[in-house]
Amino acid sequence: MFLSHIYLIPLLPAVGAALMFFFGRKLQKATVSAVCVGSVVLAFIMACGAVLQYTNWAPAHDHKPYETILYTWLGTDTGHLTYVTHDGAQSSFQADAGFLLDPLSSIWLLFVTGVGMLIHIYSVGYMAHEGGYYRFFGYLNLFMFSMLTLILANNYVLMFVGWEGVGLCSYLLIGFYFHRKSASDAANKAFIVNRIGDAGFLLGMFFIAWYMGSLRFIDVTGAARSGHFQIGDPIITAATLLLFVGACGKSAQLPLYVWLPDAMEGPTPVSALIHAATMVTAGVYMVARSNALFVLAPKSMLVVAIVGALTAIFAASIGLVQNDIKRVLAYSTVSQLGYMFLALGVGAFSAGVFHVFTHAFFKALLFLGAGSVIHAMSGEQDMRNMGDLRVRIPTTYWTMFIATLAITGIPPFAGFFSKDEILWQTWTSEGGAYRVLWFIGYATALMTAFYMFRLIYLTFYSKPRMSHEVEHHIHESPMSMTMPLVILAVCSLFAGFLGWPHSLGGSDRFARFLDPVFAHGEARVFVEEGKAGQLAAGEKEEEHTSPTEYLLMFLSVAAAGAGWFMAGRSYRNADKGYVEPIAAASAPVYNTLLNKYYVDEGYDYVFTGRRKMGDVRLGVLGAGEASSWFDTHIIDGAVNAAGSITRGTATFSSWWDKWIIDGIGVNGPAILARMLSYPARLFEWGLVQWYALVMTAGLVGFAFYYVYH
């Protein structure tokens, strides 16, 4: 029942969104909540049922994906949608409205609907006193529809539809407070930056269609694993790099990460929805779904790993000194996404997906907990104005503390298992370069522990630094907000046990569940001709019992403990006017981190030329100014010149038509005929007698001429 009606999972929130857009203004808040939250609850129930049915269906069908096609959306019925492939053959272009369920999409389906459901429930309390209630929930439902379409799509084209849908909805949700300029600017920034990535995704799709002859996932994966394509194929390398550009835009990797921290301008539930388990993981999902292609492109894999590692440590370093509680979590998200791409780049696809899974719970918990803190603090987001909240909002404190233990990798919390697996797989990758990536990942783990416990100590410990008026109104959030926190805290504690590693006596059930998707993809992803590559997934199981893994595991936990210790020593007793340790050690370094390496200013300088110092425009020599000059003088000049020519031509044409065509050609003969008619009109008196006299005279004259001639 559930599996055959899998299309209802994205359809249910779509119906909720449609009802809000058409009738939401006339509905009560309770009705809006019932419709929108209820649609996502039903989608979650359907998702659980579908995944359960699939796990029973798959063993009897050789663990193949379950695919259902509703209808051919774009097809070749008319004969116009055919194209020539790279080998000169005619290929039919076809994109189905079809859905695919396999272990990979099952995992995303469960945590997207589950976490999305909790965020919807949380939003009922958080947005209770906000305007535009129906509009907000309509956007949330539309976002869920788009994300679920992206996940369940059976081809790249339908995935791109969902991909663009979540991009549109992120624009609407980030700019929900559109009356604030900062919110509208952040929404525009997210929309524009994502369009850069989308262009890469589109070009990658074109390459795949041209080279593979299909955009259907099953066909592309089958062709990639058929043995007809060699490792290092330049076309596949180009296609995968373009796909990764799209992933960088959606999942906020260098250099397209700049939109994600600014997304904090939206309501806190939006931050949780975008940053935890949905939109930002779309890029990870797309790369994981395309694993068969990436395995054939070792250079692309290397690029993915390097970009992921650099993004992880870059964002973590910025998070060390940020003061806005949501902004700290935003840079944390960028950093953790870097971890995920690092895993995908070294061929540890299962480990990367596992970290996506665990991250969904503790990062959603952190954002919703931050929203509860902001709610208790009457809208205050600056941690410098908080402190000593652990007794006043205990549920929020304990749940956020659990999430912090999870993200920093303290055993036995969820983040420990997934992060340890990523670092272990990076260390065991062939080549000294990948050991460098391990050191980067290890340093990132230390930074993560420091800035996360800095958040805990500045918010819940230390001295109270808020105003007396705010302090007087501090209170715990309602149950509609705290209940999702408790559920997510439980998941943050126990979700990691699904990936209990072999080295600790476990069976690593999570990776085994994903074997049908990645079995071939995790073998020898760094193979070069004549050189050894990464160990196959099956061979790595033996290394799980090596002393090296235990040592690396110990070092990972030690990094988390060291970060915890340093944060506690620096911030546990922080009072008003406390000095940041990094600022005390090096003011230039602190200012650079606080200003996010001046990347935003640099982008404005290069691409917009908006930045000024006094009356001097900083971008006067930048590409923004150059492009502005080119647009004003060349593009607009050409347009204006064309307009002038058109106006001149029209004027001449009007003159020619009036004086030559109408004047000489039409009116001239008419005037001449009129002039010649004047003598004849002298004889036209209008009397019959006169006409008879003229005729008689004519006859007499003719008779005289005939007789005498």
86-126 pLDDT tens trace: 667 777 777 888 999 999 999 999 999 999 999 999 999 99
pLDDT over threshold 60, residue 544: no
pLDDT over threshold 60, residue 533: no
Per-residue confidence band for 541, with pLDDT thresholds at 50, 70 and 90 = very low
Per-residue confidence band for 659, with pLDDT thresholds at 50, 70 and 90 = confident
Give me the pLDDT at residue 94, please: 79
Q: Which residues contact 119 (CB under 8 A, 6 or more apart)?
A: 140, 269, 272, 273, 276, 364, 368, 484
434-458 pLDDT, tens digit each: 789 999 999 999 999 999 999 999 9
Identify which of 250, 332, 282 has the alpha carbon closest to the alpha carbon of residue 112.
Answer: 282
Give me the pLDDT at residue 523, please: 42
203-232 pLDDT, tens digit each: 999 999 999 888 999 999 999 998 888 999
Per-residue confidence band for 293, with pLDDT thresholds at 50, 70 and 90 = very high
Q: What angle do CA 629, 634, 638 make, to 5 degrees?
A: 145
Per-residue three-class SS string for 488-500: HHHHHHHHHHHHC
H-helix segments, 325-413: 325-345, 349-376, 394-408
Q: 447 with 319: CB under 8 angstroms? A: yes
- Measured CA to CA in angstroms, residue 641 lies from 436, 633, 655 at distances of 57, 11, 21
Q: 178 with 93: CB under 8 angstroms? A: no
pLDDT over threshold 50, residue 530: no
pLDDT over threshold 80, residue 609: no
Q: For 350-368, what is the mean pLDDT? A: 94
pLDDT over threshold 80, residue 610: no
Percent of the chain with pLDDT over 90: 64
pLDDT over threshold 90, residue 504: no
pLDDT over threshold 80, residue 620: no
> Measured between alpha carbons, how far is 705 from 4 in angstroms, rounded to an integer?
109
> Measured between alpha carbons, how far is 329 from 300 in angstroms, rounded to an integer?
29
Where is pLDDT greater, at 705 or 227? 227
Q: 420 with 554: CB under 8 angstroms? A: no
